[in-house]
Amino acid sequence: MSMMEITMGQLLDMQAERYPDHEAVVYPFEKVRWTYSEFREKVNQIARGLIRIGIKKGQHVAVWATNVPEWLLAQFALAKVGAVLVTVNTNYKIFELEYLLRQSDSTTLIMTKGFKDSDYVKIINDLCPELKDCQPGKLNSAKLPYLKNVIYIGEESYPGMYNFNDLYRFADDVPVEMLKQVEESLSPHDVVNMQYTSGTTGFPKGVMLTHYNIINNGSAVADCMKLTYKDRLCIPVPFFHCFGCVLGVMACVTKGATMVPLDHFNPIKVMEAVQVEKCTALHGVPTMFISILENSRFKEFDFSSLRTGIMAGAPCPINVMRRVIDEMNMKEITIAYGLTEASPVITQTRVDDPIELRVSTVGRPLPGVEVRIVDPETGKDVPPGVPGELLARGYGIMKGYYKMEEATAAAIDSEGWLHTGDLAVMDENGYCKITGRIKDMIIRGGENIYPREIEEFLYTHPAVKDVQVVGVPDEKYGEEVMAYIILKDNLERYPTEEEIIEYVRNGLSRFKCPKYVRFVDGFPMTANGKVQKYKLREMAIEELKLHDVARIETA
């Protein structure tokens, strides 16, 4: 694979010349339709507007919004002026936002009104009470000394904030030549994006990714799907996460394909968008596909235009994959595996892989990416078929964690290998199966248990819709197995906890059998669709009153 040595701005310019009248961005519910030339023109105006309010090369600009059209404009406009887009999780509350803005040294926050139960306007005013009394662009915050600009996306106007639409007007004050000079000073190896890892453990870390990282990863991912300018990709996964902004946006732009984003995931709207816009591709995490397949209106919609897409972000249950292929017509769906630190995809299945490999593995390494499986204790390579930690090296590895040198050194060794913390098995042909996280592994009486194996088995139970398996403290064995299960709707008869335990006992080794089963309505999730297993573990300790045992274990 030949690497693209260009910036994101140069990439957009190239595609606008190549496909000027081809649709770049379509929001079916917001009546937005931009061709590549229109998209570039808007991006250039916003970029000049950003220069006018003082955004400079290397500055950090946080974007806190769902998948609104302005997100895409900001993503490319910030890249054109050499600023670093810092992604903000849409579910954040005040404590998390303060941490991110302070840790990232962001000078500017671009935000919408809010999402779900997070009122962004209230949060930023509580965090920066000085905002309501200052002129836009002149914020002096005691808590956030770097933050100067707040830019609001929406019809309303708020004290102390610019409105995003002001940037179009401000562009008139900045000559086109000035933007061109800034763009010419940029390198493909400059940091363009700072993704905060979802923080399923500990404080989130700012992963520094370059133009080169995410353009080439997006292109390689698109190649695995055989994506071309003729494709139309429905993107219901969040832009603030690599799944949205790299596997979605960058994959499309590198090929001149059409993006059909949704503001946020809604199963009915996904199905409507696919049908009305004749989307050929769809991305999602397993829980999204499950909620589409299980929706009562599923049979009303036409999926005949679909061909490919990516299921990723969490382990993909085999039976869900088969249903997506059979019932949603996604005959060429791919599975991708990676992490933010790798821009993000490390391995992916290909559209022409046999279905067995596409439903049972996460594929083989992308071109330009090396993968090793090593013994976590010794660091030595293990033979094919033996589990170990997956290590990756190549063009996509991050520059590091922002202002966290020790954490960076712990993640990337002296030879450039990224230690993923994921347990995997690789076959003779390079296809990998992820068997769990090193810290997800349950050790019961000296036996290593991989939650993934028990989860896959429980998916075969006719009443089980979704399942998560965690280890909980146990005085006798050190850890015991606990299964949290979401049951399917409208069952004629609901199974008991004992029946589930018996089902596993009849299908797997006795030591893998859950000691505890609980039926729940949902799982604690990060906004990008990852289940927070540590929270399930905390819930179990609380409910089963295992505090004393947990203390013994950690002593």
**Mean pLDDT for the stretch of residues 11-32:** 98
Q: Per the domain annotation, does 227 fall within a domain?
A: no
Q: Could you report the per-residue pLDDT of 123-161, keeping only the tens digit for each?
A: 999 999 999 999 999 999 999 999 999 999 999 999 999
Q: Look at 166-180, 206-220, 449-463, 484-498 and tell me which has the smallest mean pLDDT.
A: 449-463
3-class DSSP string for 346-400: EEECCCCCCHHHHHHCCCEECCCEEEEEECCCCCCECCCCCCEEEEEEECCCCCE
Q: Kindly indicate the confidence band of residue 1, based on its pLDDT and cuts at 50, 70 and 90.
A: low
Q: Could you report the per-residue pLDDT of 328-351, keeping only the tens digit for each?
A: 999 999 999 999 999 999 999 999
Q: What value does the mean pLDDT of the chain take?
A: 93
Last residue of a domain, one of 137, 172, 196: 196
From residue 73, give the alpha-carbon distance in Å to each of 12, 67, 456.
11, 11, 41
Q: What percent of the chain has pLDDT over 70?
A: 98
Q: Kindly indicate the confidence band of residue 122, based on its pLDDT and cuts at 50, 70 and 90.
A: very high
Beta bridge pairs of residue 77: none
**CATH code, domain carrying 534:** 3.30.300.30
Per DSSP bridges, beta strands 364-365 and 106-111 are: unpaired
Beta bridge pairs of residue 237: none
Last residue of a domain, one of 196, 225, 246: 196
Q: Per the domain annotation, does 527 fall within a domain?
A: yes
Q: Kindly indicate the confidence band of residue 319, based on its pLDDT and cuts at 50, 70 and 90.
A: confident
SS3 state of residue 109 = strand
Judge whether residue 70 has pLDDT over 60: yes
Last residue of a domain, one of 196, 211, 232: 196
The pLDDT, as a whole number, for residue 67 is 98
- The residue with greater pLDDT, 450 or 521, is 521
Judge whether residue 202 has pLDDT over 60: no
Q: Could you report the per-residue pLDDT of 217-272, keeping only the tens digit for each?
A: 999 999 999 999 999 999 999 999 999 999 999 999 999 999 999 999 999 999 99
Q: Per the domain annotation, does 232 fall within a domain?
A: no
**CATH code, domain carrying 94:** 3.40.50.980
Torsion angles phi and psi, residue 61, rounded to 5? -125, 120
Q: Per the domain annotation, does 487 fall within a domain?
A: yes
Judge whether residue 467 has pLDDT over 80: yes
The pLDDT, as a whole number, for residue 553 is 38
Judge whether residue 290 has pLDDT over 70: yes
Q: Per the domain annotation, does 337 fall within a domain?
A: no
Q: Per the domain annotation, does 68 fall within a domain?
A: yes
Distance CA(47)–CA(170), nearest Å, equals 10
SS3 state of residue 432 = strand
- pTM summary value: 0.88
Q: Kindly indicate the confidence band of residue 549, based on its pLDDT and cuts at 50, 70 and 90.
A: low
Q: Name the residue type at position 140.
A: N
Number of separate domains in the chain: 2
Judge whether residue 113 has pLDDT over 70: yes
Q: Kindly indicate the confidence band of residue 555, based on its pLDDT and cuts at 50, 70 and 90.
A: very low
Domain carrying residue 546 = 442-554
Crossing angle (nearest 10°) for helices 267-276 and 286-293: 80
Q: Kindly indicate the confidence band of residue 554, based on its pLDDT and cuts at 50, 70 and 90.
A: very low
**Mean pLDDT for the stretch of residues 289-309:** 97
Beta bridge pairs of residue 111: 64, 152
Q: What percent of the chain has pLDDT over 90?
A: 81
**Mean pLDDT for the stretch of residues 100-126:** 96
Q: Look at 152-156, 484-488, 490-494 and tell me which has the smallest mean pLDDT.
A: 490-494
